[in-house]
Amino acid sequence: MQPPPLYGLLPSRAVQLKTQAADRFRKERFRIGTHLISIREYGGFRRGPLAATRFVLFDRELFNYTYDIENPDEMGAVLDEAMGVPAGTSLGFILELESDDGLRGQLNERLRGRRDRNNWARYGRRAGWYALCRIRRPQIVLETGTADGLGTALLLRAVQRNSEEGSSGRVISFDIRDDVGWLVRDSSLAERLELQIGDGKVLLPEIVSRQPIDMFIHDSDHSYEHQTFEMETVFPHCTAGAVVISDDAHGESAFFDFCRNHGLPWWVAWEKPRRHPYPGAAIGLTIAPQL
């Protein structure tokens, strides 16, 4: 059989390449437009024109921005006070995480496979979650809002290290979408993960009724009503000294009303993003009372 003539393939290939180029152009225009809106909202050019320009030109992320932080020592000091541990303990665990080349390499390999994510894992305030998990050494960590699984990965690594030191534990993570957790699914960390997909209002009461919770991270729907639902549902099942975290504590938040209503102290650990136009957010933290 004779091969088809070359000229018969060229038009269809040209159309395919043209379509691909047009698609890339649309996505790039959308990315730049989204970043310009974010910079205007956060005042990024006023706070750091070089970082804002770099963000517009090169940053791939459209939401759930990731970055390094400039103030791990300040964040660690707040966490030390909340946990009642010697000064420098939390910072030591944050530095332990930052020097974990194995974990970062594993995450980077998966990030490089995505055109809509940066190819280097940056932890931000999630490093504080890791430090708290290392200090508390929980048997059960409950996280709502898995997303890509970056925070989940850090919690799993903390639980893994704790287990190597004699304190076994596992992580239960919830999300409403079934495409989440791709950073940790089918990885060596996943053996300690229970990923729950579905409506949290149905699944959460069922899960917490089965076992006590030693550490809880709210990072899902940040509406006042839903955050209140999650905390009020989980709190009765928390162990004495359990760590309760809100990842939405940098503005008006149900977290503070929850603490007031239950007579709980709270701490707020702010992050300062490095070379990024986003102004940063905060860890809201309280501790379940000892019985």
* Same domain flag for 51 and 78: no
- Tens-digit pLDDT profile for the chain (291 aa)? 555 554 454 567 777 777 777 777 677 788 888 878 887 888 777 777 888 888 888 888 988 899 999 999 999 999 999 999 999 999 999 999 999 999 999 999 999 999 899 999 999 999 999 999 999 999 999 999 999 999 999 999 999 999 999 999 999 999 999 999 999 999 999 999 999 999 999 999 999 999 999 999 999 999 999 999 999 999 999 999 999 999 978 766 799 999 999 999 999 999 999 999 999 999 999 999 976
* Same domain flag for 166 and 207: yes
Tell me whether residue 155 is in a domain: yes
CA angle 152, 91, 146 (to 5 degrees): 10
Phi, psi angles (nearest 5°) of residue 194: -115, 105
* Same domain flag for 47 and 78: no
* Same domain flag for 241 and 98: yes
Q: Which domain holds residue 42?
A: 29-59
pTM of the model as a whole: 0.90
Tell me whether residue 66 is in a domain: no
Amino acid 3: pLDDT: 54
Tell me whether residue 65 is in a domain: no
* Same domain flag for 38 and 78: no
Amino acid 142: pLDDT: 98
Tell me whether residue 45 is in a domain: yes
CATH number at residue 245: 3.40.50.150
Number of domains in the chain: 2
* Same domain flag for 91 and 203: yes
Asked if 246 and 236 touch (Cβ cutoff 8 Å), the reply is no
* Same domain flag for 43 and 113: no
* Same domain flag for 215 and 109: yes
Amino acid at 218: H
Amino acid 10: pLDDT: 54
Tell me whether residue 12 is in a domain: no
User: Cα 86 to the chain's mean position, in Å?
Assistant: 26
* Same domain flag for 51 and 138: no
